[in-house]
Structure 1
Amino acid sequence: MDEVKFGEQIRRARLIEDVTQEELARRANVSQVTLSKLESGKGSTLTTIVKVLQALGRDDWLGTLEPEPEVSPLRMAREAANLSEPRRASRRTR
């Protein structure tokens, strides 16, 4: 999804709630210009997105942005690195 489509979804959610840009901006504690830019897909900060989604009662959208991995990518990389490194014989002196 690109920024324009995301902004369109924000705008649709606002209209479904029957809220003006001014009112939503006030509720989210952002400027109307900032909200307008977000809705038109001209970029925004993560903070603004979170504030607007919370003000719309749509903060559940945040959980859909990236699904939680079932397996940790870092763990997989570590395990792959361990498998590719030859094991050194331990030296024990008695």
Structure 2
Amino acid sequence: MNTINQSTAEELITRLGEDVKRLRLDQNISQLELAKQAGISRKALVNLETGVGATLNTLVRALRVLGREAWLATLAPQVSVSPIDLMKLGHRRQRASGDRTSTAPIAPRKPKAT
């Protein structure tokens, strides 16, 4: 089995769908029942569980019904350094660095005389 860092996006989405399906079955809830409680279509739930074309909205709604909202907190953990501490550290990057090559336009080459 691949670790998360070695998995493709498709593999991670499939694994997430399998986890949602396992939770649903562990709670003995049918697809139709979960879909109704979550306010989504059964087809949207099938897509989520199979990892095919699911939306974040579908995932959030299903997790809420299954009592797993805490999973969402792990997607964006709280920042452990306060903004004031960051200011004390000095300069803070405002944007990612670009290509290190010159940004001056390159003159077109003149054809060689033959």
Q: What's the TM-score bracket when you normalise by the shorter of the two chains? A: 0.7 to 0.9
Instruction: Provide the residue aligned with 2:27 in structure 1.
Output: 17
Q: Which has the higher helix share?
A: 1
Identity of aligned residues (%): 42
- Paired with 1:6 and 1:44, the residues of 2 have a C-alpha distance of 11
Q: How many angstroms does 1:72 deviate by?
A: 6.6
Structure 2 segments unaligned to the other structure (5+ residues): 5-11, 94-114
Instruction: Provide the residue aligned with 1:90 in structure 2.
Output: none
Q: TM-score, normalised by structure 2?
A: 0.61
Using the TM superposition, name which of 5-14 and 63-72 deviates more. 63-72
Q: Is this contact kept in 2: 1:53–1:59, CA < 8 A?
A: yes
Alignment of 1:1-94 (within 5 A): 1=4, 2-71=12-81, 79-81=91-93
Note the alpha carbon deviations across 1:43-73, whole angstroms, 9 max, x for none. Answer: 3222111111111111111111232232379
Structure 1 segments unaligned to the other structure (5+ residues): 82-94
Q: TM-score, normalised by structure 1?
A: 0.72
Aligned residues: 80
- Paired with 2:53 and 2:81, the residues of 1 have a C-alpha distance of 32
